[in-house]
A and B are shown apart, each in its own frame.
Chain A
Amino acid sequence: MLNINFWPVRRLCGAAIYILLFTLFFAKNADAIPTFARQTGQNCVACHVGGQFPELTPYGRLFKLTGYTTGARTLPFAVTTVASMSSVANVSKSDTAAAGVSTSNSNSDFYKNNQPIVATGSVFVAGKVTDNIGAFLQVTYDPYASANADGSSSGHTQADNMDLRYADRIVSKESDLIWGVSINNSPSVTDVWNTAPAWMQYVPGASPGSYVFTDAYGPYPSLGAGSNVAGVTAYAYWNQTWYGEFGLYTTADGGARVFSAGIDNGDITHLGGTNPYWRLAYTKAWGASNLMVGAVGMLANVYDGSTNPGDPNAYNQIRNIGLDTQYQYILDPLTITAQAAYMEQSVYYSANTLASGAAYQFYQSDGVTPVAPISPSSTFNTFRAKLALTYKARYGGSFSYFNLTGTTNTLNQTSGYELGGGVLSSANGGGSTRVTGNFTGNPETSGVTFEAFYMPLQNLRLGAQYTMYDKYNGSSTNYDGLGRNASDNDTLYLYAWLAF
């Protein structure tokens, strides 16, 4: 059941209006402009469908594939910031709520619920370096990165998407070959279709607990290697029809440490060996329409955190293979985008993981029989589809459907019966996790997200998302073993997203 406190909503609208007026009155000229728009002198809609940054038009895809080098080199800085508010349907089924911890306290399960915040900010250094070399470098600040014992929170800055590439284009009336090499820190960040794992989720999320059920944290097809790693990929796009890319990834340390800048040494993602990534796509354009059908895959060895990165028994092997498709219709004043992506992820757990077993011993409902031993592997199948429309590059909306299914594995079970029966949360001396726990060991999560947005200026997006869950962590009801239902996680997310 949705519970909206109107006063915070009015405060958030007031904040959004303040941001709007501030930018209007203090930005008469082109002193601070999104860097690619300044480099080309073109409106954002030239590269972004209906103005929905970062979703790319065919022209925007060619801009990126040719290394961000179209136009004249200019001051390459840009900044984005997001103000937001999240409202979770049910904030009472929580140990912190039971203990009377305010949602203004960073240790609350629903920290900042119904409270407007400045959620995040990014600085970009991006654009043309030479006629063949360009870059997209993003650093992001999270004001709520960690919770302090006194109830406050501390911010943190770290490297985000990074893509430095060399590209060339050999084009004539008979043929067109674009090719390039990229050094980057996230598999598929080089991709130019918004069904890619690095790009399909793009409305910025936030860290406070009340945001854990927003669409940004819902199931999205993703690659096991994650981000903030280091890799080299090579790609080619032939006659604007066939696209192929292949690369290798490794840990972002040593000379590549900049790709994981801001992350503590003990927390960076360690990859073992060479970790191949590949991507194929077929594209066709006709009239106002264009279509992409593609596939992507990766094989990654990811350190499990058990001993040390030098231990060969400490690596989970993760295999990804995915299919994706994107259709766009772009004809003023209307744009339509339909996207669908499916990813199968198979995880083969490390020897250390199998040897140590599950983190906590749960029992079956009789309180006597231990749950099944952990399985040596798990499979996760993620499907997401999205339909988005914009009108006059000003009004827009989208509908998304997501469905994560997979094998049941007690390794993924974070809630369960104690010895002797009963389910106790960790706050009450047991081993179960309340709110985000998994009682069945099955990952199934499904639902929909509705979104409406308004762009009064080409670089300002005011939006509202409502995410509804049909299943969460394996069940519609009592998914955490302590009474929380999937629908309790339904969340309203309001945001004001500004780029300049």
Chain B
Amino acid sequence: MKNHLMGSVATVACVFLAALAGCSSIDRSRDWADPAVPGVTLAQQVCSNCHGVKGESTNPMIPKLAGQTSAYIESQLLAIRSRDRNDARTRTYMWGPTQHLTNAQIKDIADYFSGLEPMKFVTPSAGDSDSGRHIYYQGIPARGVQPCASCHGKLGEGDEITPRLAGQFDAYLKARARIAMTKIVSHLDDSEIENVSAYMASVGTGSAPIAILEPTGDKVVKLPAVKQAPTPAAFDAQGDPKNCHYSVWTSGWYCGDFWNAFLYRLSGN
């Protein structure tokens, strides 16, 4: 019962594939190493796989980008491409996609996501939003903590290089706070960071009207400079951040000495 029809179908399919091999469109390319691919194309074809085509990622491990300030997205992509932003999740998921991006592509990707409807509010996973609201608008002057609103805006909308926080996943904000704003949040404890994160998550697009608080008027106490928080482990302190290599033998990327990277991995990091 040799089937000549199926044989013909298979032959046609092979010829079809061969013909299609020359018919790719750069406007639907997923090659992030090709400088000719428009940034908008990369944003929709590739970035959207995690961040959503409307910038509304689903998984709270993945930051929303919808309506984020263009300058901030651009600065972060540049920092990721240069390896200056080198936390574990960035190394795992973002170093690969950004390593060949051009400045023009980065600018276009940033503009694409920035132009989308701003990120929708999220029900916080933890924390006291009302307590966070007070810290956001009034700070804690006695402990040298100025109001977050003074930089991030009265609606959490951000300003140029200062990122939008309103509508971002609270778990993501909490994870990034101590890495991205080490000195500023050094006088907040973990529960306070959690509360501010919860408040910002809850005031995204579509939330109830935001109840802005006026600052108390108390003068923010200027405290002595705080030492940079210690790096998580010897691994991050080893060598120049730009001295990084991709290897499957550790967590994808490692910086500095290979053997120390392996020991770092075995030590539970």
Contact = CB atoms under 8 A, between A and B. Distances in A.
A230 B92 contact: no
B10 A255 contact: yes
Given A172-B53, A183-B14, A130 B248 contact: no
A43 interface: yes
B9 interface: yes
B160 to A, nearest CB: 24
Nearest to B247: A30
B38 interface: no
A312 B3 CA distance: 12
Given A24-B262, A59-B49, A181 B28 contact: no
A288 interface: yes
Given A27-B247, A458-B252, A254 B7 contact: yes
A230 B20 contact: no
B20 A132 contact: yes
Contacts of B253: 43
Contacts of B53: 171-173, 176
Contacts of A43: 91-93, 251-253
Contacts of A232: 9-10, 13
Interface in A145-181: 164, 166, 168-173, 176, 181
Contacts of A331: 59-61
B17 A72 contact: no
Contacts, number: 188
Contact of A37 (B13, B32, B252, B266): B252
A309 B248 CA distance: 47
A132 B18 CA distance: 11
Nearest to B17: A166
Contacts of A271: 3
A5 to B, nearest CB: 29
Interface stretch (A62-70, A318-326, A354-362): A62-70
Given A171-B53, A183-B13, A248-B9, A288 B61 contact: yes
Nearest to B12: A232
A251 B2 contact: yes
Nearest to A32: B248
Contacts of A459: 248-249
B111 to A, nearest CB: 14
Contacts of B235: none
B96 interface: yes
Question: How extensive is the interface on chain A, given as a class?
Answer: 35 or more
A301 B16 CA distance: 27
Interface stretch (B40-48, B130-138, B145-153, B186-194): B40-48
Contact of A130 (B24, B89, B91): B24
Contacts of B16: 166, 181
A250 interface: yes
B185 interface: no
B176 to A, nearest CB: 13
Interface in A66-108: 66, 69-73
Interface string A434-466: 000000000000000000000011110000000
A309 B1 CA distance: 6
B50 interface: yes
Nearest to A41: B96
B1 A301 contact: yes
Nearest to B57: A285
A273 interface: yes
B10 A183 contact: yes
A170 B28 contact: yes
Contact of A456 (B26, B33, B266): B266
Contacts of A37: 248, 252
B93 A42 contact: yes
Given A24-B262, A59-B49, A172-B53, A287 B58 contact: yes
Interface string B2-36: 11011101110110110011011110111111100
Given A46-B92, A171-B48, A272-B1, A131 B30 contact: yes
B97 interface: yes
A447 B20 CA distance: 48
A281 B100 CA distance: 35
A315 B60 CA distance: 53
B246 A130 contact: no
Contacts of A71: 30-33, 96-97
A111 B23 CA distance: 53
A72 B93 contact: no
Given A37-B248, A40-B97, A288 B21 contact: no
Nearest to B9: A232
Given A34-B248, A130-B24, A287-B58, A41 B1 contact: no
Nearest to B89: A332
B164 interface: no
B10 A250 contact: yes
A457 B14 contact: no
A27 B59 contact: no
Contacts of A176: 48, 53
B258 interface: yes
A12 interface: no
Interface in B219-248: 245-248
Contacts of A66: 30, 45
Given A24-B262, A34-B248, A285 B46 contact: no
A392 B265 CA distance: 11
Contacts of A23: 249
Contacts of B31: 69, 71-73, 128, 131
Contacts of B17: 133, 164, 166, 181, 183
A7 interface: no
B250 A457 contact: yes
Contact of B246 (A41, A132, A170, A287): A41
- Top 6 A-B pairs, shortest CB-CB distance: A41-B96, A72-B33, A43-B252, A250-B6, A272-B1, A131-B24
Given A42-B252, A69-B30, A183-B13, 10 more contacts: A30-B246, A30-B248, A37-B252, A70-B30, A72-B34, A132-B23, A251-B3, A287-B59, A288-B59, A331-B60
15 contacts: A24-B249, A33-B248, A128-B31, A131-B28, A164-B17, A166-B17, A169-B30, A173-B116, A176-B48, A181-B13, A288-B61, A290-B58, A331-B59, A332-B61, A457-B250
